[in-house]
Amino acid sequence: KYIKELHEIDRIVKIKDSLDEEKIFAINVDYYENKEDYYVFSLTDITKLKEKSNLFEYQASHDKLTGLFNRNKFDEVYSKELKRSKRYNNELSIIIFDIDNFKMVNDNYGHQIGDNVLKEIAKIILKNVREQDVNVRWGEEFLILLPQTNLAGAVTVASKLRIAIKEHLFTPEILKITASFGVSQLLSEDSETTFISRSDTLLYEAKKTGKDKVIS
């Protein structure tokens, strides 16, 4: 159960061989003939590949500027989380937010300062979410996928982030920044597209009706 609930990127184990040397294995979990309590676990020895591939794997799955997951990695994780949520009737929520008037930051202070703001936003996110939450840079927006979290819980996280961003002094120009948030919970009738689209619509509503707010 523990391994099954881990994100794929975390499914790595070390096992000692007969010579007492540690080997590194990647674990893949597949459902077995649609039976809920049966799984096929495949272990692949990646000991020799691990060091060489670590950097390439990281670069392929993470945003270079912020260190958060990129869109490619999110698409992979998102599909699996949706299937898991619907299969086991687990709650799943999404937060989408972006920086209010971010174009003005770039225009007035330059893209270097804009990049610094994005990096500091990423640090604020990581300080205020759980380890199992999926944090993504989504173009100029940020997205957080929260497994086993209902709407109220996701709104609490979003509100915490909104306040943390608003109170933070962004260096080196000592800027005050705010952000707008759209939050939604997965519904039984949702597809991959409608779930995100609804959250994005709520974000747009937050920006249109005054900014610096959370709408769910």
User: What residues act catalytically?
Assistant: 140
Let me know how long the chain is: 216
Q: How far apart are the first and last CA of the chain?
A: 32
Q: Which long-range contacts (CB under 8 A, 24 or more apart) does 77-83 make?
A: 77/7, 77/8, 77/9, 77/134, 77/145, 78/134, 78/145, 78/192, 79/192, 80/8, 81/134, 81/145, 81/147, 82/186, 82/190, 82/192, 82/195
What per-residue string of b and e applies to 136-160 under the rule 16 or more CB within 10 Å gives b?
Answer: bbbeebbbbbbbbbeeeebbebbee
